[in-house]
């Protein structure tokens, strides 16, 4: 969600790549649905892990900033970047997976997470410069 929303809000002038601790390639359908509500297309997006980034030749030292959205990703980012001049920020974002009983409850949990990401993006980079 964060990568798609970042690109929508601030354009493509900054290279943004999402990665996590684990990789299951498919993006969660609830994430797709709540981002679609704000015209952010995630259905063709594939998730990647830090390990996959390294295997595919992405040089973590070429990044300026890693934003971790979970304690596990923060630990992994700090471990991977300890030899690089690279900032790591931790944004405590609610993990919506497994929350809610009904479809509507689950969507509401994902909306809360989406909205937390939006608020952090605005706090860090200001109001969106592109279409919102």
CATH number (domain holding residue 69): 3.40.50.2300
Percentage with pLDDT > 70 across the chain: 80
Q: How many domains does the chain have?
A: 1
Question: CB count, 10 Å around CB of 1?
Answer: 25
Classify residue 131: in a domain, yes or no.
no
Q: What pLDDT, in 10s, does the model give residues 5-15?
A: 999 999 888 87
Q: Report whether 7 contacts 16 (CB < 8 A).
A: yes
Would you state the pLDDT for residue 116? 97
pLDDT beyond 90 at 103: yes
Which pLDDT band, with edges at 50, 70 and 90, does 59 fall under?
Answer: low
Banded pLDDT at 33 (limits 50, 70, 90)? very high
Please give the helix or strand (H or E) that residue 68 lies within, else none: strand 65-68
Residue 88 located in a structural domain: yes
Model's pTM, two decimal places?
Answer: 0.84
Residue 75 clears pLDDT 80, i.e. is over it:
yes
Domain that holds residue 89: 1-125
């Amino acid at each position: 969600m964060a990568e798609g929303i970042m690109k929508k809000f601030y354009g493509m002038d900054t290279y943004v790549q999402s990665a996590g601790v684990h990789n299951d390639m498919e993006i969660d359908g609830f994430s797709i649905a709540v981002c679609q509500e704000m015209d952010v297309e995630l259905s063709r997006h594939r998730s990647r892990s830090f390990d996959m980034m390294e295997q595919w030749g992405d040089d973590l030292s070429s990044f300026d900033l890693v934003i971790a959205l979970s304690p596990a990703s923060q630990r992994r980012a700090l471990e991977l970047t300890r030899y690089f001049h690279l900032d790591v920020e931790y944004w405590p974002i609610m993990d919506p997976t497994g929350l809610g009983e009904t479809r509507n409850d689950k969507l509401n949990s994902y909306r809360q997470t989406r909205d937390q990401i939006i608020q952090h993006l605005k706090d860090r980079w200001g109001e969106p410069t592109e279409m919102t």
